[in-house]
């Protein structure tokens, strides 16, 4: 596992141990209604659009894109929604990625789209911190606990998006009740990008679904910087793409999101 990933895990453990979970008051949870991610993806496809999960991402390991306050996060998310994104992903890891739960909360209040909480979930207490429609669970980090975290997320009303990097992690993910699998093209050891990871693993998921009568939604994550990249992973059989860095680096988040949304015609 790359040093920066280990650093994030260590700081996350320290944060939970020192401060405990940031429990939101019950009033914020009252009346929470999960937004339907599956319908959002299906509607985009039927409309000939690429289902893009657009990410509010202040930073990544070794790179800062921009400081993002809750007000800025909400504005960016609104631009993403207007440009045709099917969901918004919000980084809540505060150290390396400079995200926050406040950003997540502001985004969900601003847009009507499903919202994904993207963080390094390693403690059950983190699933008590706030509400979101989807929550990221990373197979390579949770290991043998993945199944129980998927169950708990479902119990709490989240749609778990299980992220995998290789065949072994994919096998673990397919043993759980998760319906959404994210294939991360960034290698956990080297942090290098390889879109071939999506091509390899997406076909295995499709084979599994044919053999078992199941249906997983497949998302390609990381490393898509051009419409050509998006077309490549869509042709590999994915249902949606998650794009962060390319949007954050663009002069116009609206224009860049729309460019990716319109990069393939499904019909």
The catalytic residues are 55, 57, 118, 163, 184, 221-222
Fill in the DSSP letter of residue 127. Answer: G
Burial 156-192 (b: 16+ CB within 10 A, else e): eebbbbbbbbbeebbebbbebebbbbbbbbbeeeeee
Fill in the DSSP letter of residue 73. Answer: H
Fill in the DSSP letter of residue 193. Answer: B
Strand pairing category for 159-164 and 180-184: parallel
Alpha-carbon span 224 to 147, nearest angstrom: 29
Please report, in angstroms and rounded to a whole number, the separation of the first and last CA atoms in the chain.
Answer: 41
Question: Of 41, 143, 46, 142, nearest to 87 (Cα)?
Answer: 41
Cα dihedral sign, 106-97-245-123: negative
């Amino acid at each position: 596992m790359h040093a920066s990933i280990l650093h994030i895990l260590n700081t996350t453990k320290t944060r939970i141990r020192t401060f405990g979970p940031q429990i939101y008051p019950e009033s914020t949870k009252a009346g929470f209604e999960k937004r339907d991610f599956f319908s959002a993806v299906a509607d985009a496809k039927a409309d000939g659009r690429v289902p893009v999960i657009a990410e509010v991402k202040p930073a990544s390991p070794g790179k800062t894109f921009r400081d993002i306050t809750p007000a800025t996060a909400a504005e960016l998310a609104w631009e993403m929604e207007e440009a045709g994104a099917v969901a918004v992903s919000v980084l809540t890891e505060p150290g390396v990625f400079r995200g926050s739960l406040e950003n997540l909360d502001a985004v969900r209040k601003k847009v009507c789209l499903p919202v994904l909480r993207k963080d390094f979930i390693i403690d059950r207490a983190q699933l008590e911190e706030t509400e979101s429609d989807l929550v990221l669970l990373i197979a390579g980090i949770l290991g043998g606990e993945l199944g129980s975290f998927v169950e708990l997320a479902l119990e709490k009303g989240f749609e778990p998006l299980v992220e995998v990097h290789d065949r072994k992690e994919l096998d673990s993910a397919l043993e759980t009740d998760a319906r959404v699998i994210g294939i991360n093209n960034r290698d956990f050891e080297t942090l290098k990008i390889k879109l071939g990871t999506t091509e390899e693993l997406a076909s295995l998921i499709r084979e599994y679904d044919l053999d078992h009568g199941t249906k997983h939604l497949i998302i390609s994550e990381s490393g898509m910087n051009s419409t050509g990249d998006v077309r490549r992973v869509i042709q590999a059989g994915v249902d949606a793409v998650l794009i962060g860095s390319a949007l954050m680096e663009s002069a116009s988040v609206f224009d860049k999101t729309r460019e990716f949304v319109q990069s393939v015609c499904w019909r």
